[in-house]
Amino acid sequence: MPLTQAREIAAAKRLENVRYAIRDLASVADEVIKQGHKVLPLNVGDPLNFDFQTPPHIIEAAYKAMRDGKNGYAPSPGIPEALEAIRGEATRKGITTVQDVFVTSGVSETVDLCISALVNPGEDILTPKPDYPLYSAVLCKLGIALNAYDLNEDDAWHPELADIERKLTPRTRGLVLINPNNPTGSLCSRQMLEQIADIARRHNLVAFADEIYDKLILPDSNGDVTPHLAFAAVAPDVPCITFGGMSKNYLVPGWRIGWGIVSGDAAAIKSYTEGIHRLLRARLCANHPEQYAIKPALEGPQDHLMEVQRKLRSRRDLTQKWCEATPRVSCVAPRGAFYAFPRIDIPESDEVFVKELIRQKHVMVVHGSGFGQKPGTQHFRIVFLPDEKTLTSAYAGIADFIRERYGVA
Ligand SMILES: Cc1ncc(COP(=O)(O)O)c(C=O)c1O
């Protein structure tokens, strides 16, 4: 018998605004699954849920490392051969002012460490709106007020420079740029990168360039593929951390391997980099055996990327055609990653739209409000990773749902 009545243990108040809409919808999906239905998951960006396979030579490298006894702790910044391979990748991407590189347990950890090592209470970091929700979650965890700049749907979802200028305060320390973007699938032009670099220079900001999707670039409407441009290559002098990783480009999201590439003026970035290393040491190390797959991934055969890009192009085209043909739906064509962020013209919230869509048609997408969006607009995010047959059936369900619930406009 317990001696005293247990009292409820409350979670920290600063977590109240931490949301992860992508996974929060799971409870609605569970209801539907319990009723015996199969749910089509167009909500999680995990290629391994669909017809994508990890390149075998990468699996072999991690397996070999385990067999060879690489199962203890690794050096905190990462194993030397992985660090060297990441530096090589930075050089191939035209980043000429690399000051440091380190390996993490996924870009998720890079985000957490790099933001934690920079901001003091009362300071802020500019994050995009809509954004990948981890950024706001980490800032909430640190008790930092959110300061989001708009991405402009009327300008291919590019950052709205005037809004960045409006939101800057003397206490703004950094700016997050996700390129290619999640959730919009947009890709930044060189001119846009240069303009953002100019703002960073004038306001002494650290640029956080989240480029985790940099090898998943899709053709434009003329069929041309513009190679991805690293922010740090365009702005070698600006203090920058480029976030990269294995999850998406090399199809191993469950391995949790990411990295950070620190670039910019050596003297300017030194003390901040030391702060990052303090945190790297405190958390011991990233996953060890998987780090042996970084060099084979970055330097070995890249054949799988052709196949991934072929599938993504076909699925993006199908998605775009459906958006164009469906009443109440419009969409800026995605140019990278595997997300589309269509706008919907409906008389209720996009959260209700998404939940009812799961209940009635068993298709799961994520509401735009889960990523943040301009007031008065409604969107949903589609993950277009499933094969064409599955997508066609999911889109037919969404179109029927829109017609039945709202009429044709
Ligand atoms: C923009 C962006 N950054 C970071 C991450 C996290 O990546 P990782 O699996 O390397 O933690 C994701 C995952 O979807 C993402 O979309």
Nearest of 260, 218, 269, 266 to residue 241 by alpha carbon: 260
Ligand 1 atom with minimal separation from the 246 CA = 10
Question: Are the C-beta atoms of residues 336 and 189 closer than 8 Å to each other?
Answer: no
Most ligand 1 atoms within 8 A of CB, residue of 108, 115, 176, 186 to mutate? 108
**Beta bridge pairs of residue 241:** 208, 262
What is the arithmetic mean of pLDDT over 92-105? 98
Shortest-distance Cα residue to atom 14 of ligand 1:
45
Residue 44: pLDDT band with limits 50, 70, 90? confident
> What is the structure's pLDDT at 1?
63
Ligand 1 neighbourhood includes 336 CB (under 6 angstroms): no
**Percent of the chain whose pLDDT exceeds 90:** 89
Ligand 1 neighbourhood includes 247 CB (under 6 angstroms): yes
Ligand 1 atom with minimal separation from the 45 CA = 14
Q: Which of 9-23, 252-266, 329-343 has the lowest mean pLDDT?
A: 9-23
Most ligand 1 atoms within 8 A of CB, residue of 248, 287, 339, 371 to mutate? 248
224 has a pLDDT exceeding 90: no
Ligand 1 neighbourhood includes 260 CB (under 6 angstroms): no
Nearest of 18, 22, 53 to residue 382 by alpha carbon: 22
20 has a pLDDT exceeding 80: no
Residue 23: pLDDT band with limits 50, 70, 90? low
Q: How many angstroms separate the Cα of 244 from the Cα of each of 128, 145, 327, 334, 373?
A: 18, 26, 38, 20, 25
Q: Which of 27-36, 89-98, 123-132 has the lowest mean pLDDT?
A: 27-36
Ligand 1 neighbourhood includes 245 CB (under 6 angstroms): yes
The better pLDDT of the pair 11, 165 is held by 165
pLDDT in tens, 349-360: 999 999 999 999
Q: What is the mean pLDDT of the chain?
A: 95
Question: Are the C-beta atoms of residues 337 and 181 closer than 8 Å to each other?
Answer: yes
Q: How far is the CA of 212 from the centre of ligand 1 (A)?
A: 7
Question: Are the C-beta atoms of residues 249 and 294 closer than 8 Å to each other?
Answer: no
Q: For residue 87, give both structure tokens.
A: 């530096």
Ligand 1 neighbourhood includes 132 CB (under 6 angstroms): yes
Ligand 1 neighbourhood includes 107 CB (under 6 angstroms): yes
> What is the structure's pLDDT at 409?
66
pLDDT in tens, 360-371: 999 999 999 999
What is the arithmetic mean of pLDDT over 75-79? 98
DSSP for 193-232 reads: HHHHHHHHHHTTPEEEEE-TTTT-B---TTS--PPP--HH
Ligand 1 neighbourhood includes 108 CB (under 6 angstroms): yes
Ligand 1 neighbourhood includes 258 CB (under 6 angstroms): yes
Q: For residue 307, give both structure tokens.
A: 């196949």
15 has a pLDDT exceeding 90: no
> What is the structure's pLDDT at 12?
87
Ligand 1 neighbourhood includes 212 CB (under 6 angstroms): yes
DSSP 281: H
Ligand 1 neighbourhood includes 45 CB (under 6 angstroms): yes
Shortest-distance Cα residue to atom 1 of ligand 1:
182
Ligand 1 atom with minimal separation from the 107 CA = 10
What is the arithmetic mean of pLDDT over 262-267? 96
Shortest-distance Cα residue to atom 13 of ligand 1:
45
Give the C-alpha separation, 285 to 270, whole Å. 21
Q: Is 70 exposed, middle or buried (0-12, 13-18, 19+ CB in 10 A)?
A: middle
> What is the structure's pLDDT at 407?
85
Residue 226: pLDDT band with limits 50, 70, 90? confident
Nearest of 70, 134, 133, 85 to residue 108 by alpha carbon: 134
Ligand 1 atom with minimal separation from the 132 CA = 1
Most ligand 1 atoms within 8 A of CB, residue of 208, 241, 247 to mutate? 247
Q: How far is the CA of 75 from the centre of ligand 1 (A)?
A: 23
Ligand 1 atom with minimal separation from the 258 CA = 10
Ligand 1 neighbourhood includes 178 CB (under 6 angstroms): yes
What is the arithmetic mean of pLDDT over 11-25? 77
**Percent of the chain whose pLDDT exceeds 70:** 98
Give the C-alpha separation, 172 to 120, whole Å. 10
Shortest-distance Cα residue to atom 16 of ligand 1:
182
Ligand 1 atom with minimal separation from the 109 CA = 11
Give the C-alpha separation, 64 to 76, whole Å. 21
Detail the DSSP E strand segments found in 51-171: 98-104, 124-129, 147-152, 158-159
4 has a pLDDT exceeding 90: no
Ligand 1 atom with minimal separation from the 337 CA = 16
Ligand 1 atom with minimal separation from the 111 CA = 4
What is the arithmetic mean of pLDDT over 57-71? 98
> What is the structure's pLDDT at 97?
97
